[in-house]
Amino acid sequence: MKIPFNQFSFSIIDPNTDISGFECDNPDLNDFLYTDAIHYQEERLAVTRLIHLQNNVVGYFTLVSDSIEVAAIHSDDGNFEYPYRRYPALKIARLATDSHYQKQGIGRAMLLKTMQIAIVLSGYIGVRILTVDSKHDSVEFYEKFGFKRATRKNHETISLYRDFHRTLCDIQDKREESDITKY
């Protein structure tokens, strides 16, 4: 059963946060949370957010700044008048759900929170694209939420992106259309 978004709370990890009960199916993601997340944050290399359900840490995601080559995205994304070689982006560097909470909407909630963060950031700095270097077994998850494959090749991961600005424009257009039909 999917858990409603409003049931979750989010916090930025800190040295006093109890993460001892968290365990996902990927040992590398567990290791990052337990040994690297705090250090990366202290060094201003990444920020890790935890997602809580009641008092349990049920997932986490880590964000970093990024960029993506204009040539790596589809021609219907981006801005054709953009004169530079790379778009500013926000990268989902890690995303993991506790193995006891799989298939309950936690990954979706973390992506929604990431989108909210990207929207806020884009009011302060240039950010148009969300990126992720996905493990092969997670590609379908991201594609379900509108991510597309970038043209960049990598054997260990699949580079994906989402033009969230395009999504915001589409939402705005649909709102305007529904407003027009009211009259």
pTM, entire model: 0.89
- Determine whether domain 5-180 maps to CATH 3.40.630.30: yes
**Domains of the chain: which residue ranges?**
5-180
Backbone angles phi, psi at 108, to 5 degrees: -60, -45
Q: In what order do the strands lie in the sheet with 8-12?
A: 8-12, 47-53, 56-69, 86-97, 129-134, 158-163, 148-149
Structure confidence by residue, pLDDT tens digits, 49-98: 999 999 899 999 999 999 999 999 998 888 888 899 999 999 999 999 99
Structure confidence by residue, pLDDT tens digits, 99-137: 999 999 999 999 999 999 998 898 899 999 999 999 888
Say if residue 162's pLDDT is above 80: yes
Say if residue 180's pLDDT is above 60: no
